[in-house]
Amino acid sequence: RYLYAENVFYQDKRIVATLVCYNLETGEVKTLKVGESEEYGSYFVGEDCLYVSFYPLDSIEQEWYRMDPTLTTRERIEETDFFAEASSLRFIFDGSTLCFVEYHWGQDADGNSKMDYGEIKLYDFESGEQKVLYEREAQHASSIKLLAMTEESIYFTVYDPLYLGTYMDSRTGREEVYTNNYHQIYRMDRDGGNLTMIMDDISCEVSNIILLDSKILIYGHICQEIEGSHSAKKVSNMMATLDEDGMVTSIQEKINNYGMILD
């Protein structure tokens, strides 16, 4: 019934963003009201409401509110400081539950900041309950990538580079080292139980997935262990088969970004 879009415009020599609601039945357009002492942040579409964040001008932390679908009323949601780490690249929202990755920082022996570990968390908007499902030492800024969430399971991959080969570019004289950084897919229950690696394949680097009943569409790279080649990785969509236990058993098709099937 409603369509939401973010409107970005230039005002008073600065870029300003706001949220717009379009009623598909009546054609009415309504713009989110933003106070003079705050700025619009971002939003999630819930099952029967919206979750909208604002940044007070005197604070760097965003405040979250529950709003009706027409952007008329808003109610403050308390204790949502962790949203500062739930960037759009690291969360999945299903209408009531937010699954996100949060990283924790510490210091090395020289006193420099370093990323210690990452966690997969679930936050229930209705109950306010927050739960840690998975924890991993942080080796990279994207050590954990969320891939998909169903009613029963959460799918993700982790940073674990495997060496593919080294290529010397004759034009630049620079050496390029190729690695497959995300060659695994994990599945776990939404309570964090039954953690299972359903794929570990050096020929497939995972960026994203779409679950299709007994198949899984994997977007990422086809990888080859080729020393001295500049074609060790190719952008591709890969169709894999899932067995009765949900394990990846084969990659049946390899489709590159031009729509061509690769041998």
For residues 73-97, average pLDDT: 72
Question: Is 26 part of a structural domain of the chain?
Answer: yes
Contact in structure between 168 and 154 (CB atoms under 8 Å): no
CB 188 within 8 Å of CB 195: yes
With respect to residue 45, please indicate whether it lies within any of the assigned structural domains: yes
Averaged pLDDT for residues 152-180: 88
Arithmetic mean of pLDDT, 93-116: 79
**Confidence band of 87 (pLDDT split at 50, 70, 90):** very low
Q: What is the pLDDT of residues 131-143, one digit of tens each?
A: 999 998 877 666 8
- Give yes or no for residue 109 having a pLDDT over 80: no
Question: pLDDT above 70 covers what percent of the chain?
Answer: 89
Asked whether residue 214 is domain-assigned, the answer is no
Residue 255 has pLDDT above 70, yes or no: no
Number of domains the chain contains: 1
Residue 188 in domain: no
Strands 144-149 and 130-137: what pairing? unpaired
- For residue 44, being part of any structural domain is answered with yes
79 or 195, greater pLDDT? 195
Structure confidence at residue 141 (pLDDT): 63
The span from the CA of 30 to the CA of 23, in Å, is 8
Closest CA to 30 of 88, 71, 76: 71
Domain with 32 in it: 1-78
Q: 182-219: per-residue pLDDT in tens?
A: 999 999 999 999 999 999 999 899 999 999 888 899 99
Cβ-contact 77, 51 below 8 angstroms: yes
Residue 102 main-chain phi, psi, to 5 deg: -125, 135
- Does residue 11 fall inside a structural domain? yes
